[in-house]
A and B are shown apart, each in its own frame.
Chain A
């Protein structure tokens, strides 16, 4: 028999599921023990599958192995350790232990535990980079060096961040519960962390596209978990998922064959992923059920307008300016105002765009942002003011944060090869 191929990242995703189930049994103070059991299950899979090929249902095999190991650990250590306080009495007795262990590995229980873990990782005592590192480590099976590589951080710094985060988790008596009173507040922290994780993948520092695509995939997978549970499938969750799907649809078209960044107007729109666009639209529709209009709703709507347009010129810039007006009401920032001004320039011409830029409140906050002088340069070029355009692009280039950005700005500079 030809053994089945493993789907991509099976081990990573199962690591998150197994850790969640095991933490339910062992208690969050025994997170390290849960992680040991997971590593053990992988070691066993590696030993057996490498010679015999994987079983027909590798994910179920891993879960069963983790379940059996969990029962072993509980039998061996129940006098020496305290496990999850709410289950400890049931785990003490052979009459009930195996039923309780089985329950922890039931599909919907595992989903609920993954969500509780995700909420716990977004503890307000932790800074956002720590929340994201914890989520990637515990729920997505990323090692510290993998996280460090993706975020261009030092491995030691990431390890410290994860260790501190786990200490915070262990000190809380239990995982966050979805019936807790502050579930709405914590859910928006979770949204924020997933949004930042996705953005890191989309715009991120890592030079390797494969690494960045994985971060986007993980953010989308975790958002999909939120949509599977009645408590967390809120309009904002659907809107966030829509933002991710609509942007991910453009991932492949964002770079050309030689790996150079392409702006929206140079992208081959036929390379946009039609399935993801359809999914994003459906999610955006599903998000329109409440009175709440979040930044995710507005960002998704903007992305949907772009996705619907056959070309840059045929884009509904009236709609986009209106949506940026909405964003300025919900979450005003200088960057949003700059993007609004660029949309106005598309709608009404470069002079209107420059006037809108001149009217931005707190414009000095954009001084270190390379796409601010780049926008000025672009508009100057459209007005035919080549000297001003060159000066703006030179300033943008000096502010660029990566080689890809620098090369992109070089190509926009009037007079360079390929500038339009």
Chain B
């Protein structure tokens, strides 16, 4: 068994467009909870993880300049992460396919193995 990090990406436009109403937001959340709970029941969740604020600061290499970003409008903003247990990368990727983030065509789940020592 190995550990994997799921990095969730969703465009904010897709989020606000698809989930403008309270009911839609609740439904979306219930889908997330059902998905993660199912993985948890099957022993695949080390940690549900944390959401990340959609913007912060970026410190650039070289100049070490501090700039604002990433911006909420960008498609490649990481919205949160979870730590998952799977036997290999193929299984970890297969498990990620049920993630509700993927209902948004601009959404994605990046599946990265934690490097073994």
Contact = CB atoms under 8 A, between A and B. Distances in A.
Contacts of B50: 51-52
Contact of B25 (A3, A42, A48): A42
Chain B contact residues: over half helix, strand or loop, or mixed? Answer: helix
A10 interface: yes
B76 to A, nearest CB: 17
Interface string A129-163: 00000000000011101100000000000000000
Interface in A39-75: 39, 42-43, 45-54
B45 to A, nearest CB: 10
Interface stretch (B13-21, B88-96, B107-115): B13-21
Interface in B8-48: 15, 19-26, 28-30, 32-33, 36-37, 48
Contacts of A53: 33, 36-37, 48
Contact of A9 (B26, B29, B79): B26
B55 interface: no
Contact of B22 (A14, A47, A52, A145): A14
A6 interface: yes
A43 B51 contact: no
A141 B79 contact: no
Interface residues of A, number: 27
B15 A11 contact: no
A166 interface: no
B70 interface: no
A145 to B, nearest CB: 8
A12 B80 contact: no
Contacts of A51: 32, 36, 48-51, 80, 82
B16 to A, nearest CB: 8
Given A43-B15, A51-B48, A51-B50, A15 B29 contact: no
B26 A6 contact: yes
Nearest to B82: A51
B29 A45 contact: yes
Chain A contact residues: over half helix, strand or loop, or mixed? Answer: helix
Contacts of B22: 11-12, 14-15, 38, 42, 141
Interface in B43-68: 48-51
A51 B32 CA distance: 7
Nearest to A18: B22
A11 B25 contact: yes
Interface in A1-30: 3, 6, 9-12, 14-15
Q: Which of A3, A12, A14, A46 has its CB near the most chain B CB atoms (within 10 A)?
A: A46
Interface size class of B (residues with CB under 8 A): 20 to 34
B79 A47 contact: yes
Contact of A141 (B21, B30, B51, B100): B21
B29 A146 contact: no
B103 to A, nearest CB: 13
A47 B33 CA distance: 11
Contacts of B48: 51-53
Contacts of B23: 9, 11-12, 141-143, 146
B36 A50 contact: yes
Contacts of B21: 141-143, 145-146
Contact of A46 (B25, B36, B49, B82): B25
Q: Which of B15, B21, B25, B30 has its CB near the most chain A CB atoms (within 10 A)?
A: B21
A47 B28 contact: no
B29 A50 contact: yes
Contacts of A3: 33, 37
A350 to B, nearest CB: 48
A46 B19 contact: yes
Contacts of A141: 21-23
Contacts of B26: 6, 9-12
Contacts of B80: 47, 50-51
A50 B32 CA distance: 5
Contacts of A46: 19, 25, 28-29, 32
A54 B51 CA distance: 13
A49 B29 contact: yes
Contact of B30 (A6, A14, A48): A6
Given A9-B23, A38-B22, A45-B29, 14 more contacts: A9-B26, A10-B26, A12-B22, A39-B20, A42-B22, A42-B25, A49-B29, A50-B100, A51-B36, A51-B49, A51-B82, A52-B50, A142-B23, A143-B21
25 contacts: A3-B33, A9-B26, A11-B25, A11-B26, A12-B22, A12-B26, A39-B20, A42-B22, A45-B25, A45-B29, A46-B29, A47-B80, A48-B51, A49-B29, A50-B28, A50-B33, A50-B80, A51-B80, A53-B33, A53-B37, A141-B22, A142-B23, A143-B23, A143-B24, A146-B23
